[in-house]
A and B are shown apart, each in its own frame.
Chain A
Amino acid sequence: MTDLARSLANISQAEAGPKRKRLALVASKGTLDAAYPPLILATTAASLGWEVGIYFTFYGLDILHKDRYQKLKMASLANPAGPIRLPNLIGAIPGATAAATKVMKRWMKRSRMPDVTEFIEMAQGLDVTFFACATTMGVMGVEEGDLIAGCDIAGAARFLDYAADADVQLFV
């Protein structure tokens, strides 16, 4: 960089004011209840004026999967805090997961909370970056066309490069 270019770059940086804050989230789980926290934090941070990126990895990639994100389920097994508190033996019977999912959806609706689809639209409207984990796609046989539009397919290094400049990094 020439001295002139460098001083011009310094000037434009000074004019831009304080650096925008950045939130980097990892969404690693694909159950209905686990989809909400990253989407709530992302839409909130973006509302605060922050730059936000979510790295969807492993089961979390289902939240970006066109055929799956509207059908995320609530686990009835091994979840003592779930909407219906079932002993594991009962939670394992057919229909228990569907029942727990129904209760969770009813809770959210009654509280006038947006559903996953609406949260994704809200996040996209606020320019939240959706990173789709490239390794998960390879391991689980997910193609780019299987994902909702506008995802950024990224490896771990690409996401860490983004997260390294973040003010807040959280793993969900």
Chain B
Amino acid sequence: MTQTNEIGDIQVAEVLDTSGLLCPLPVYKAALVLKKLEPGDVLELTCTDPGSLEDIPALARQRRDVLLAVDDRGGVQKFWIEKGEGV
């Protein structure tokens, strides 16, 4: 899968939609997917919980993944997270 966004084309390995779910579910579900991916793989994550705007960057920071891009469209946020080597 290739997704185009403001930073260009991103090869996406997995897509996860957590629309309608509240904390801790977006973080919990994203972490389960990231664990299964290989380092360098990208997860495209959709969230609607307003807390996710801060929670998902915190998840990436703590897990030592790389948050490639964020797209915040009034109530719906998309994140592209590249799995790091860390966890």
Please list the residues of chain A having a beta carbon within 8 angstroms of any beta carbon in chain B: 17, 21, 40, 43-44, 47-50, 111-114, 122
Contact = CB atoms under 8 A, between A and B. Distances in A.
Given A17-B86, A21-B62, A48 B21 contact: no
Contact of A49 (B23, B24, B32, B62): B62
Given A17-B86, A122-B28, A47 B59 contact: yes
Nearest to B27: A47
B87 A112 contact: no
A106 B54 CA distance: 28
A44 B59 CA distance: 9
14 contacts: A21-B62, A43-B24, A44-B23, A44-B24, A47-B27, A47-B32, A47-B59, A48-B31, A48-B58, A48-B62, A49-B86, A111-B22, A112-B21, A112-B25
Nearest to A113: B22
A111 B26 CA distance: 13
A47 B28 contact: yes
Nearest to A119: B24
A44 B55 CA distance: 10
Interface string B31-65: 11000000000000000000000000011001110
A122 B27 CA distance: 12
Nearest to B20: A112
A170 B63 CA distance: 21
Contacts of B20: 112
B36 to A, nearest CB: 13
A111 B20 CA distance: 8
Nearest to B24: A44
A48 B59 contact: yes
Given A40-B23, A48-B31, A49-B86, 18 more contacts: A17-B86, A21-B62, A43-B28, A44-B23, A44-B28, A47-B24, A47-B28, A47-B31, A48-B27, A48-B58, A48-B62, A49-B31, A49-B64, A50-B62, A111-B22, A112-B20, A112-B25, A114-B25
